[in-house]
């Protein structure tokens, strides 16, 4: 259905302007697919790193430079810098942010802290603008296919379908500030029509090993099963995909599902009696020493 201005009405009537960013760089296919899809329903501003800065998390810089190009603002900086610039450095404040679409999955608590795609969305949430961190994965391959073999249009459609609900949730007390969304992309480049969508959580599978590598140190990280093909031969100490709970993001990847994790900021405090006791003991020692 078309809106009165000729745009489609898929984002509802309250999302008029969306900021699109990523960590793969302003020339990435996934970013272009998201910007093209959302521009059918809203004004879109693209602010993205000038090159690939994946795996940088929420790193911010004090000063950035940028160039206005035909495809958007190309920033010499990090994904979170791009969000901050897009939300605070331009003339208007967007109603929502979409970061992505990333090439490959971003799942699990550890990876979410490491991902530049997610870092850009978290920056938006801290600035009180709802955001989606959008990633595409290949459910039938141990490694992501080359970026130019992905078609991100289906993943962009998924983000568009979720934005109105996210914006509504963000307005409610206790609602989601951001969504981490991972979308399966099949061999034909499209999201499988019967792919289920599942509400998930980023579970905390993580470990690392360090070994000598010709005089250097090589880290091999384990984030939990990322693909159904790992079922047959998990490494020692690793979990086979069949052991994952269905609500884990990795469990959704195992099943070829669209994983949608509602998240919030800030980091929540923890009630920790052991630390409370340590603080009290230190203060008691101090009081005795000054008596």
Which pLDDT value is given to residue 147? 82
- Residue 241, CA distances (Å) to 115, 134, 135, 229, 233 in order: 22, 22, 20, 9, 10
Ramachandran region, residue 12 (left: φ > 0; alpha: ψ -120 to 50; beta: rest): left
pLDDT block averages, 10 residues each, the chain of length 291? 63 91 96 96 97 93 95 97 97 95 92 95 97 91 77 92 94 91 76 79 86 90 65 53 82 88 84 91 89 71
φ/ψ (deg, to 5) at 141: -140, 140
Q: Which domains does the chain have, with CATH numbers?
A: 17-263 (3.40.1210.10)
Which pLDDT value is given to residue 141? 75
Q: Given the structure tokens 């929420």, which residue do they identify?
A: 58
Full-model pTM? 0.88
Which pLDDT value is given to residue 14? 85
Tokens of 7: 């745009």
């Amino acid at each position: 259905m078309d809106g009165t201005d000729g745009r489609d009405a898929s984002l509802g009537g309250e999302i008029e302007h969306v900021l699109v960013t990523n960590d793969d760089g302003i020339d990435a296919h996934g970013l272009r697919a998201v910007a093209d899809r959302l521009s059918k329903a809203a004004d879109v501003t693209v602010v993205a790193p000038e090159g690939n800065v994946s795996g940088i998390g929420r790193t911010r810089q004090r000063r950035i430079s940028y160039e206005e190009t035909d495809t958007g603002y190309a920033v010499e900086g990090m994904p979170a810098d791009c969000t901050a610039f897009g939300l605070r450095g331009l003339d208007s404040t967007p109603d929502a942010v979409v970061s992505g679409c990333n090439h490959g999955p971003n799942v699990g608590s550890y990876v979410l802290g490491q991902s530049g795609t997610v870092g850009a969305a978290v920056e938006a949430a801290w600035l009180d603008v709802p955001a989606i961190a959008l990633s595409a994965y290949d459910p039938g391959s141990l490694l992501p296919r080359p970026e130019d073999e992905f078609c991100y249009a289906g993943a962009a459609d998924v983000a568009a379908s979720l934005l109105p609900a996210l914006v509504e949730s963000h307005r409610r007390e206790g609602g989601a500030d951001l969504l981490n969304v991972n979308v399966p992309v099949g061999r034909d480049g499209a999201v499988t029509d019967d792919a289920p969508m599942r509400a998930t959580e980023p579970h905390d599978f993580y470990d690392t090993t360090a070994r000598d590598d010709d005089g250097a140190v090589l880290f091999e990280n384990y984030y939990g099963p990322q693909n159904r093909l790992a079922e047959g031969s998990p490494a020692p100490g690793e979990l086979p995909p069949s052991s994952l709970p269905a609500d884990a993001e990795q469990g959704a990847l195992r099943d070829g599902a669209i994983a949608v994790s509602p998240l919030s900021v800030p980091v929540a405090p923890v009630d920790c009696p052991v630390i409370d006791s340590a603080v009290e003991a230190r203060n008691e020692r101090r009081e005795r020493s000054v008596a």
